[in-house]
Structure 1
Amino acid sequence: MFARMSLRWKLLLLSIFMITVPLSLQGVVTYKEFSSSTERRATENTMQITEQINRNLDRTLAEMQRLSLAPLYDPNVLAILNKYGGADSDAAIPTIEEREKMFLYISGAAYGLQEVKGIQIIAGNGFIFTNVDSTLMRFADSDALDWSGKVREADGAWTLIPPHHLHHYIPGDPNEYFSVARMLREPGSNRQLGMIVIDLKLDVFRTILANYRFEENGNLFVVNGANDLFFEKTSGDTEPSLIGDLRAVSASFGSGVYERAPNGKRYITVVDNSAYSGLKVIAYIPESVLLKETKQLQNFTIAIAILFVAAAGVIAIFFAYRISQPLVKLKQKMLLVETGNFKQSVPVETQDEIGQLGRGFNRMSEEINRLVNEVYAVELREKEAELANLQSQINPHFIYNTLESINMMALQKDNYEVSDMVTALGGMLRYAVTQNARTVALEEELASVGAYLKIQQLRYGDRLRVAFDAEPGTEGLHVPKLLLQPLVENAIFHGIGDREEGGEIWISASRFEDELLICVRDDGVGMDETQIERLRQSMLSPEPPGPRRRGLALRNIAHRLRLIFGPTAELHMDGSPGGGMAFTITIPAIERSQGDDQTIAG
């Protein structure tokens, strides 16, 4: 397929290919590098965020852990807890003064801590002291609380309780809180006095996260080692598949970066474990979010690539046209040369190889045209020499005497038509044989044509009508011998010969300044423009081979005119279907005098 393409298309495709391929490779490399860089930056940023969240949580929880130890260093608190921590005080209610002391102590401890919802100090007998509201101090069954067993198992160590409701001492509060709790034991005796519970708002996580720029469509979770969910930040409803993957990551993965694909959706997962609190901050960042900026770059790159390819295409078309156009013209001229029209040349505008090829073609066509014309001229001279040789071999007197005998017999038989025909034929033969000159006076040529037409009128009768119109002063001008007879013959046989109504032939001659114009016109069948153009082209080409040589008489006339008078002489034709044909000969107006040579051109 490529081999059958034109040179213009090959140049165009090659130019676009050489521009598109490097540009595409550069775009792919840039896209990959930018994607990798974007993912790396987002991952590093998320790792820093998760690490800082855990560090801030550790500081907050460390402060709460220290706060949970403070009651053990206050004598008044220890005295009250000792009083209501034994089995003999199960139903004892602290006095108003004792409750007031505990309220003031707890309120002072929680002062300025916005993240603390409230502090509970639960005595051994189950009585709750709190700073939330002094009226909320009451008994509670601590054993019935979900998290109390976990606190007892810690046996004095601080414990982190997952989010839960505070309905046991704040009825009707719909919010959840997570807590720091520990068992309180008397220093020295290690006797159990009760427990302290510091209830923290979930806003702790939101406040910490507000200081960092987290991915808008990312998901952040805070869980403990038991997979209890403390906090989550999501861009919408959390997918069940993501919760399932969260449990697997929390249970099996340590700190680091992982690629996860729950339910076929790809995430970059960042995990940070706190050795202090045991909390894990896990961030899920959708890969589509990371590639959002990359997609914008990709679209921008594609748009730029399309723009450059379009511009390159326009430039490639321009240069392909400029390079191939001279070759296309050269090809067209070569096709004309193949048909025999050797007088061709191409314009040469450059000095490159294509320009050299054009100049070589011009020289070649000029040389071929010159050689063809020389060969034709030689053939024409040979034919004229043969004709002259034949003329010289004919005994004119024998022919004249024979024709005169025929004429006398026709007159004796009263056959005047035969007599007229023989007389006209004798005049034609005398004109053709007795004069060796290549040019004759116009009046002699018209007389010879008149004799020929007289013979044809005897044949066609009234169907053939003839009119002569020679401008005065043109009778003695040079014309080639036997110039008009082929034109008149064409007018009769090809123009009006087959028409039932016949036709008329006009032969005119006029002088226009230094030119002689001779016109042979008929009102016969005529020709259309295509036929006329084909006839003109046949006059320019060499004589075609074969028995059927269309336009041979006209071609000979045109070549004889150029051979005798040079390039100024021409044979022009015009006509229309049904309107006849007109052949006009234009030659230099040269007066004929005695002793004129037969060569006039040059």
Structure 2
Amino acid sequence: MSFRFKPLKSWSLRAKILLIFLLLISIPLSLQGVATYVDFSSSIERRTSDYTAQLVDQINRNLDRTLMEMQRLTLMPVYDSGVLSILRKYRGEDSLHQQPTVEERSKMQLYIASMTFDRPEIDSIQIFAGNGYTFSSLAPSAIAAYTDVERQPWYSRVEEARGAWVLLPPHRPSYYLDGNQSYFSVARLIREPNTNRTLGLVKIDLKQTLFKQLVDNARMEENGGIVVQNSREELFYTAPAEKDTETSKLLPDRIRELSGRSETASQLLKMEGNEYLVVSNYSKYSDINIVSYIPVASLLVETKELRNFTLLAGMVCLALAGAFATYFSYRLTKPLGTLVRKMRLVELGDFKQSVPAVTEDEIGRLGSGFNRMVEEIDRLVHEVYVLGMREKEAELAALQSQIHPHFIYNTLESISMLARQHGNEDVSEMTTALGRLIRSAVEQDQSLIRLGEELETAESYIHIQKMRHGSRLRAMFDIEEGLDDFLVPKLLLQPLIENAIMHGIGDREQGGTVYVTAARFEDEVLLTIGDDGRGMSEEELAALRGLLEEAGAAAAKMPATPLHGHGVALKNIKQRLLLIYGSDCDFEIDGSLGQGTAFTITLPFVTQKEQEVGIG
């Protein structure tokens, strides 16, 4: 028996609803579980990395402080005249195997003992004379009296430093009679202050337990380990976690790229099939790189528990959701199935069908609506027909009520011709100018027009005003050559000219002059509209400037000081400029009482061609 999978479009509504329910529950649940697990895992790794970086940095800082103290101790003999005098005496070959006096040995032993006082990290301090005699903080029975220092494997590194301090990796000094212990050391040549001639060598042997104390104080991760080495890949200390000794052996080879690369670095490394979070900290002072490694598996123990819990909870929720979805999909689709059967009968022309309204939800209301629809279908068809006729009549009435702008122009032109026939040239000119104004306001559908066109509109308005004011009104235009194609907002100049005439010149007996200037300065154009009228007081000017500052805000407030009609038009102009140009424009006002008022607008220079190619 073969099973055929039906295409989705042939599924029943119940099956589709069941599938949707399961998907809507399982997908978010799965995504949430995965996102929670990933985010929690990343958070633990990140916090552990940051915390470990702080710990290894603190360990390195503490180690640097200890080594600074040690290198300071190695400087003490260099500046002690008593020590230098003894070392001079036993420097040459003529003093070979010559033993210092009891007084000299006692003096040197007391001096070295003072260097080791209250410093438990120091195992011993040796000062080697030129003839090989060893002055030590240890008892004579614990150390060889003479040591051929130059034959020691570490001597060449101290000699290359030429008097600077050197940190030596762990080694087993041959001058100890019991040579089983390993130490790391700080050493320095003792040289004549004036001639730099080598007199001897001071060497401080430090206990290996120093690193263990530093690590224990830092409270590192229990499951992790730590490796201390220098840029020469010489191992100073290692503290592997339990059962992880193989990893501690492999790790120094894997962290070569981390050594000396930066003060702090972290990355994930795979070793022996396991992944480790490796955090290193490098000290330029000591050339020591401290590396901490933690198994990622130990970090993710909590996340695995969270994953298992989330998986179990998701499966339980999915099972419950499937049961509920099956039940509710059946309850939901049963009335719909009845409704579908009734609709098929209605399609055949049987309008006597009805469905029982068992529920009061949307499906129940759908059944009730179906019943009403069947009963009133004839009336609804009739109403749709009547409404369609009325809609067409309304559209026709709207079309008939629209007056084309050309009707206004033609009417004004007829008035102008009639006035000219009766010899009334003033009325004819005013009507013609008004027609140009209306044409400019109606026909230009773009927000920016040429300055030349805007000036024509302004001149038409001034011409109309001159019909009223006569010779009392004078106008002066000073436009820099080449600015006719400069784009400006439509109806920018006319409101300002109107403001100058109405509030600047007004009904003054002597009249006044309105001047309009335009000048280009590099990539900007300055437009100035002013008058020599009554001007404004300081209070009015301050209030008007305050209004212009607020014009760009979403809720501009009107100023408390009266503005005598200035405010609304100027505020609208400022808001239009901000909408078109943003912060690339400026709108300023200046003036004084009796000296007139001037409005200055600064706009970016943009022409029609530049706007078409996208410069504007």
Scaled by the length of structure 1, the TM-score of the pair is 0.52
- 2:291 alignment counterpart: 282
* Cα distance between partner residues in 1 of 2:165 and 2:195: 19
Q: How does 1:163-312 map to 2 (within 5 A)?
A: 163-173=170-180, 175-235=181-241, 236-239=244-247, 241-250=250-259, 255-262=264-271, 265-312=274-321
Q: Tell me if structure 2 keeps the 8 A contact 1:266–1:287.
A: yes
Distance in 2 between residues matched to 1:78 and 1:352, nearest whole Å: 106
Q: Separation in 1 of the partners of 2:290 and 2:43?
A: 24
Instruction: Specify whether residues 10 and 191 from structure 1 end up closer, same or farther in structure 2 by C-alpha distance, changes over 3 A only.
Output: same
Match of 1:143 among 133, 136, 150: 150
Q: Give the conservation status (yes or no) of the 8 Å contact 1:68–1:181.
A: yes
Helix, strand or coil: the match of 1:280? strand
- Equivalent of 1:15 in 16, 21, 24: 21
2:165 is aligned with 1:158: yes
CA separation of 1:361 and 1:59: change in aligned 2, threshold 3 A: closer
1:321, distance to aligned residue in structure 2 (A):
4.5
What aligned pairs does 1:36-115 form with structure 2 within 5 A after superposition?
36-115=42-121
SS in 1 for 2:109: helix
CA distance in 2, matches of 1:213, 1:42: 13
Cα distance in 1 for partners of 2:22, 2:73 equals 75
Measure the CA separation in 1 of the matches of 2:79 and 2:262: 41
Looking at structure 2, the residues matched to 303 and 213 of structure 1 have their Cα atoms a distance apart, in angstroms, of 36
- Residues 540-559 of structure 1 show CA distances to partners (whole Å, capped at 9, x for unaligned) of xxxxxxxxxxxxxxxxxxxx
Query: Whole-Å Cα distance in 1 between the matches of residues 71 and 295 of structure 2?
Result: 36
In the alignment, structure 2 segments of 5+ residues that lack a partner are 1-5, 342-353, 372-616
* Contact 1:99–1:129 (CA under 8 A) maintained in structure 2: yes
Secondary structure of the residue aligned to 1:25 is helix
Once the two structures are superposed, residues 544-594 of structure 1 have per-residue CA deviations (whole angstroms, 9 ceiling, x without a partner) of xxxxxxxxxxxxxxxxxxxxxxxxxxxxxxxxxxxxxxxxxxxxxxxxxxx
Distance 1:131 1:326 in 2: 102
Structure 2 residue corresponding to 1:125, chosen from 102, 113, 131: 131
- Distance in 1 (CA, whole Å) between partners of 2:177 and 2:182 is 11
Match of 1:545 in 2: none
Give the direction of change, closer, same or farther, for the CA distance of 1:25–1:281 in structure 2 (3 Å limit): same
Cα shift at 1:84: 1.6
- Please say if residues 103 and 134 of structure 1, whose CA atoms lie closer than 8 Å, have aligned partners that are also in contact: no
Aligned-pair distance for 1:153?
1.4
In the TM superposition, residue 252 of structure 1 has moved relative to its aligned partner by 6.1
Retained in 1: the 8 A contact 2:233–2:252?
A: no
- Once residues 192 and 10 of structure 1 are traced to their aligned partners in structure 2, the CA distance between those partners, rounded to angstroms, is 94
Contact 1:130 1:136 in 2 (8 A): no
Q: 1:315 to 1:121 in 2, by over 3 A?
A: same
* CA shift for structure 1 position 274: 1.3
On the 8 A contact 2:258/2:265 being kept in 1, the answer is no
Label 1:167 to 1:300 Cα distance change in 2 as closer, same or farther (>3 A): farther
Could you say which residue in structure 2 is the equivalent of 1:320?
329
1 CA distance for matches of 2:229 and 2:250? 17
Given residue 238 of structure 1, which amino acid in structure 2 is its aligned partner?
Answer: E
Residue 219 of structure 1 deviates from its aligned partner by 3.4
SS of 1:249's partner is coil
- For 2:122, the equivalent position in structure 1 comes to 116
- Check the 8 A contact 1:163/1:177 in 2, yes or no: yes
Q: Which amino acid aligns with 1:19?
A: I
> Do 2:266 and 2:280's aligned partners in 1 also have CA atoms closer than 8 Å?
yes
Closer, same or farther in 2 for the Cα pair 1:250/1:360, shift >3 Å? closer
Q: CA-to-partner distance for each residue in 1:441-466, whole Å, 9 max, x for gaps?
A: xxxxxxxxxxxxxxxxxxxxxxxxxx
Helix, strand or coil for the counterpart of 1:320?
Answer: helix
Change (3 A) 1:326 1:110: same
Question: Aligned letter for 2:128?
Answer: I
| Paired letter, 1:22 | P
CA shift at 1:279, angstroms?
1.3
Letter aligned with residue 211 of structure 2? F
CA distance in 1, matches of 2:176, 2:369: 111
Change beyond 3 A, Cα 1:329–1:249: same
* Deviation at residue 354 of structure 1 after TM alignment: 5.9
Cα distance 1:49–1:360, how it changes in 2: closer, same or farther (>3 A)?
closer
Q: Aligned equivalents of 2:108 and 2:67: distance in 1?
A: 23
CA pair 353-107 structure 1, distance change in 2 beyond 3 A = closer
CA distance in 1: counterparts of 2:131 and 2:218, whole angstroms: 45
- The aligned amino acid for 1:151 is V
Letter in 2 for 1:320: S
Percent identical pairs in the alignment equals 45
> Cα distance 1:117–1:170, how it changes in 2: closer, same or farther (>3 A)?
farther
CA distance in 1 between counterparts of 2:71 and 2:250 reads: 36
1:62 and 1:153 mapped to 2: Cα distance? 20
Question: Per the alignment, in what secondary structure is the counterpart of residue 200 of structure 2?
Answer: strand
RMSD: 3.5
Asked if structure 2 preserves the Cα contact closer than 8 Å seen for 1:84 and 1:124, the reply is yes
- CA gap of 1:113–1:357, structure 2 versus 1, over 3 A, is closer
User: Structure 1 49/170 Cα, relative in aligned 2: closer, same or farther at 3 Å?
Assistant: farther
SS in 2 for 1:121: strand
Cα distance, 1:80 vs structure 2: 2.4
Structure 1 residue 212: Cα displacement: 2.1
Confirm or deny: 8 A CA contact 2:18 2:325 kept in the other structure: yes
Q: Higher Cα Rg: structure 1 or 2?
A: 1
In the alignment, what sits opposite 1:567? none
2: CA distance, partners of 1:37 / 1:361: 57
